[in-house]
């Protein structure tokens, strides 16, 4: 099936990752299949999911349909999933890798990420809302188990998510197969310039989740029984500077925000279940040659920092900051 070419970033091993993918965080099994269908119809080939999202099976059903009908070849897809933080032990990696592959109905994924630097104990009847930190998490032994997934052919490449610069460097220095990619929160309000530069120096590509900000963050936080009623939640999508640039170029704010990310050579995985928005997000990244005014947009970062912290920082401070103090010397 012919599709408009999507620009890509190249890993150190020569494999390529499309600069734009479909994010599926908080996309329920009931709607994610339709979203993946719409994305593949539009021309997306990069699909991002995770064991913790609980939607791998629904995504797998849609992918299988496309592959079985001959609408796509497996090598045309770039599928990413992630090791849950309850699996942050060497002996658990293969088990969770195989669970994800079974759900996705694939023999391999293109990129397998360690979802979080912080591990949780694996207990029966535990949930994302009631977990205990695993104080024995060892990033180096964990990474060796990740490398074994490449050796076994279950993952073409491996990487990290929500790791800081020191943690990334430690993995790179000890790795036989270095991380190909780091996935972190990144958007115009939280540009991660130092971390992106650091990863570039280590030949590690970067992928941005929440590239449009995080409109669903208050809903996500409410799942944990927390509220941000006293904390300003600013949306880049409604920022006046972003709106002005969008109007000038005849684009949507979302298209401008995505263009701002990918122009830096950072992969973006916006989440949407709306077919029209899925198409709009794809069009500007793949077809426009008009660069977004980066200096103008970058000024919004200073404005945002005065008003609100990033959603990930809010989440850590509200949910696990007390626990993190106990492991700061171990992980940081």
* Secondary element (H or E) of residue 9: strand 8-10
Q: Are strands 16-18 and 8-10 parallel, antiparallel or unpaired?
A: antiparallel
For residue 176 the two structure tokens come to 């036989």
Set 44, 51, 53, 284: catalytic member:
53
Half-sphere exposure of 74 (CA within 13 A, CB side): 11
> What is the C-alpha to C-alpha distance for residues 145 and 29, in angstroms, rounded to an integer?
29
> What is the C-alpha to C-alpha distance for residues 147 and 141, in angstroms, rounded to an integer?
10
Within 15-145, strands assigned E span 16-18, 22-23, 46-48, 78-83, 109-114
Q: For residues 120 and 87, is the Cβ–Cβ distance under 8 A?
A: no
Catalytic residue status for 53: yes
Burial class (CB in 10 A: 0-12, 13-18, 19+), 312: middle
CB burial string 111-141: b at 16+ within 10 A, e below: bbbbbbbbbbbbeeeeeeeebebbeebebee
* DSSP category for residue 210: S
For residue 1 the two structure tokens come to 């099936």
Cα–Cα nearest to 144, from 174, 173, 166: 174
> What is the C-alpha to C-alpha distance for residues 128 and 232, in angstroms, rounded to an integer?
25
Q: For residues 291 and 127, is the Cβ–Cβ distance under 8 A?
A: no
Q: Catalogue the active-site residues.
A: 53
């Amino acid at each position: 099936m012919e599709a408009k070419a999507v620009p890509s970033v190249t890993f150190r091993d020569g494999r390529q990752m499309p600069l734009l993918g479909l994010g599926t965080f908080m996309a329920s099994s009931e709607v994610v299949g339709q979203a993946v269908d719409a994305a593949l119809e539009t021309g997306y080939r990069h699909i991002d999911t995770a064991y913790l999202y609980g939607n791998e099976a629904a995504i797998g059903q849609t992918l299988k349909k496309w592959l079985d009908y001959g609408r796509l070849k497996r090598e045309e897809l770039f599928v990413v999933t992630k090791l849950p933080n309850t699996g942050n032990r060497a002996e658990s990696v293969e088990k969770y890798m195989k669970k994800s592959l079974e759900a996705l109905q694939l023999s391999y994924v293109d990129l397998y990420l360690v979802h979080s630097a912080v591990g949780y104990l694996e207990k029966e009847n535990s949930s994302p809302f009631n977990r205990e930190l695993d104080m024995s998490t060892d990033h180096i032994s964990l990474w060796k188990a990740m490398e074994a997934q490449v050796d076994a052919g279950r993952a073409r490449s491996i990487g990290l998510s929500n790791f800081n610069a020191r943690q990334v460097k430690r993995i790179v220095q000890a790795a036989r197969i270095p991380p190909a990619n780091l996935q972190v929160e990144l958007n115009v309000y939280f540009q991660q310039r130092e971390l992106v530069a650091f990863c570039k120096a280590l030949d590690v590509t970067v992928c941005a989740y929440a590239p449009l900000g995080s409109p669903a963050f208050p809903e996500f936080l409410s799942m944990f029984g927390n509220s941000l009623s006293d904390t300003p939640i600013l949306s880049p999508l409604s920022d006046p500077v972003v709106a002005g640039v969008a109007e000038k170029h005849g684009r949507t704010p979302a298209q401008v925000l995505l263009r701002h990310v990918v122009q830096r050579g950072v992969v973006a995985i916006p989440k949407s279940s709306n077919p029209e928005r899925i198409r709009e997000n794809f069009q500007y990244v793949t077809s426009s040659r008009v660069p977004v005014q980066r200096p103008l947009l970058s000024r919004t970062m200073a404005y945002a920092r005065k008003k609100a912290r990033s959603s990930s920082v809010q989440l850590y401070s509200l949910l696990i900051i007390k626990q993190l103090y106990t492991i700061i010397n171990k992980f940081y």
